[in-house]
Amino acid sequence: MGRRMFGGGEGEWDPSWRGWWDEDPPFHVPVFVLSHRPRAPLSMEGGTSFTFVEGVEAAHELARAAAGDARVAVAGGAATVNQFLAAGLLDELTLHIVAVVLGAGERLFDGAGRPELELVATIASPAVTHVTYRLVRAA
């Protein structure tokens, strides 16, 4: 998970910040938060724990170890996704598209090369469209 998704603002950590969620976040698994600033791990109800890690490779390694045979999900915005894409650590990419004009932001795929994507699924509703792609690897 990217630091901005976990929240708490930029710069030094506010030690009282425990995320956007109540004491029982929806994850119920270990979560590894990308951050350049150290912070002690945070344990929550329901089996969710937040460990703060520098670098996508370290986060991926810890997540794989924690997941065992289960899948690992990456959650975050363009900066987080671009880092995982550039490191070649994603197999699938799900985009959640909402018709909201923000006016600014980071661009998806900047610095991540030009990944070849194969459409896997599309789920549409009046509020949001979810599009899943498989990243095609060179043989």
**9 and 63 part of one domain:** yes
Q: Phi and psi (nearest 5°) for 69?
A: -85, -5
| CA quadruple 12, 57, 108, 5: dihedral sign | negative
Q: How many residues does the chain have?
A: 139
Q: Which domain holds residue 66?
A: 1-76
**72 and 128 part of one domain:** no
Kindly state whether residue 54 falls inside one of the protein's structural domains: yes
Query: In which order are the strands placed within the sheet that holds 117-124?
Result: 92-97, 129-135, 117-124
**60 and 125 part of one domain:** no
Region 4-8: what's the mean pLDDT?
87
Kindly state whether residue 48 falls inside one of the protein's structural domains: yes
pLDDT, tens digit, 9 for 90 and up, residues 108-129: 998 888 889 999 999 999 999 9
Output the pLDDT for position 124: 96
Distance CA 6, CA 18 (A): 8
Whether the predicted pLDDT of 93 surpasses 90: yes
**71 and 135 part of one domain:** no
Q: How many domains does the chain have?
A: 2
**98 and 63 part of one domain:** no
pLDDT, tens digit, 9 for 90 and up, residues 19-78: 888 899 999 999 999 999 999 999 999 999 999 999 999 999 999 999 999 999 999 889
Kindly state whether residue 63 falls inside one of the protein's structural domains: yes
CB 1 within 8 A of CB 72: no
CB 103 within 8 A of CB 61: no
SS3 41: coil
CB 57 within 8 A of CB 88: no
Kindly state whether residue 40 falls inside one of the protein's structural domains: yes
Output the pLDDT for position 139: 61
**6 and 71 part of one domain:** yes
**5 and 72 part of one domain:** yes
**2 and 53 part of one domain:** yes
Q: Which residues contact 21 (CB under 8 A, 6 or more apart)?
A: 44
Picking from 38-52, 82-96, 102-116, 124-138, which range would have the lowest pLDDT averaged per residue?
Answer: 102-116
Distance CA 128, CA 130 (A): 7
**3 and 61 part of one domain:** yes
Whether the predicted pLDDT of 138 surpasses 80: no
Kindly state whether residue 84 falls inside one of the protein's structural domains: no
Distance CA 118, CA 61 (A): 26
Confidence of residue 132 (pLDDT cuts 50, 70, 90): very high
Output the pLDDT for position 47: 94
